[in-house]
Structure 1
Amino acid sequence: MKRIALALLLVGCMGSAAMAQDDWDVNVPDFPSKDVTITVSEGTWMSLDVSPDGQTVVFDLLGDIYTMPIGGGEATLIRGGHPWEVQPRFSPDGSQIAFTSDAGGGDNIWVMDTDGENAKQITKESFRLLNNAVWTPDGQFVIARKHFTSGRSLGAGEIWQYHITGGSGIQLTERKNDQQDVNEPAVSPDGRYVYFSEDFYPGGFFQYNKDPNSQIYAIRRYDRQTG
């Protein structure tokens, strides 16, 4: 009986080790699936951006990214598939689009050409999540929110800056705790300032029953020249 139990234990350990060595790929799900065609004329909870020349709209719908003429018409799928990809933003010169994608296993910032080609992962977080990327006016950096999970579902965030060629990034703000969030970065036209929202509600922790008649969020400004 002991030999049988030991053999089963060894087989189980070997199986676990083999599974640990396999790289999980969101593009190749290990469950049955099929394609379903749907036709829609509107959507909700979408992110969109307008090209610098004012001629094209880029938007996300159900985790895929599309473009269409500013005057309307049929949308063109430029990024689709199993990964969940959202929050597209045109670069200042209109040649690229930054977006959030979990194609690498978790939410990171990617950049692609406006036709969906040459997609490249800019950030390489394996545990923290990145989203809401915006471009600096020179087109050399993206600034995004890095999300830190906590004991509650929403967690907290920090604002980070990354060069479009990649790298570990530069931390611009530090979270004051694991409960109060920052979000929605926006860069001034001259590139000097980063504006973002921050939870300023008293108490130092997240509360669902906040007083709507007092201040909950405030707009803060970060100076990229002086810090």
Structure 2
Amino acid sequence: MNRLLTLFQQKKEKVLNIYFTAGFPRLNDTLALAEAIQEAGADLIEIGIPFSDPVADGETIQKANTRALQNGMHVALLFEQLQKLRDSVKIPVILMGDVNPMLQYGTEDFCKKCQEVGVDGLILPNLPMDEYLAEFKPIFDRYGLLNIFLITPQTSEERIRRIDENSAGFIYMVSSSSTTGSTKGISKDMEGYFSRVDQMSLNNPRLIGFGIKDKETFQQASAFANGAIIGSAFIRAIEESENPSLAAKDFVQAVLE
């Protein structure tokens, strides 16, 4: 069974997903960071594929993308770095990014490589659902990959239910219509949206992202969903550290303490 499905069967609440950009802060930090995140107690790792024009990302992750690309990160190198991933990392790992790097690499080859290195799913925010269902789902299924869809406060109930019907793994609940990296925390409007979706009794687990930055906001988000995703705050915690792996452990442990 896919590791994501196993995770959500075994853990129903306070699931912590940590996002970081591949090749950041240094080119060869990717595997060491994944190991540190697991060791600190996170449940799920989301690795961003750097792209020159990332979708919906705020300034922090945009800068991380730029730095990773300047460091020399690219898709083929990422797969090389992940070759020994499953020797040490046992928790689920998903890749997140623009659909274009996958298309440029070749969808079939990309998905095959994901299976080889032990990637469990993909988040491709700019891949339309109809296109995914018609063209990509058979390939994803062939290689055991789950596609994770995003919803926002503006997503209609009809679309949310359609996403739920065509999903496995989890649904990524974007907390607001802004970009990633908000430091304002969780507002009453967000809580209303979380509650509305919660009351829909969806089949899939939900993780809340955007604006989740510390123990307090993680706990708040987890009250309305199965857990949350932290990205920009984690990036800020490791970006200038002399020991990114140690900084990663400290950050995750502080969220979970």
TM-score for both structures, normalised by structure 1: 0.25
TM-score for both structures, normalised by structure 2: 0.23
Give the structure with the higher percent strand: 1
Give the structure with the higher percent helix: 2
**Higher RCO, 1 vs 2 (CA within 8 Å, ≥6 residues apart):** 2
Q: Which has the larger radius of gyration?
A: 1
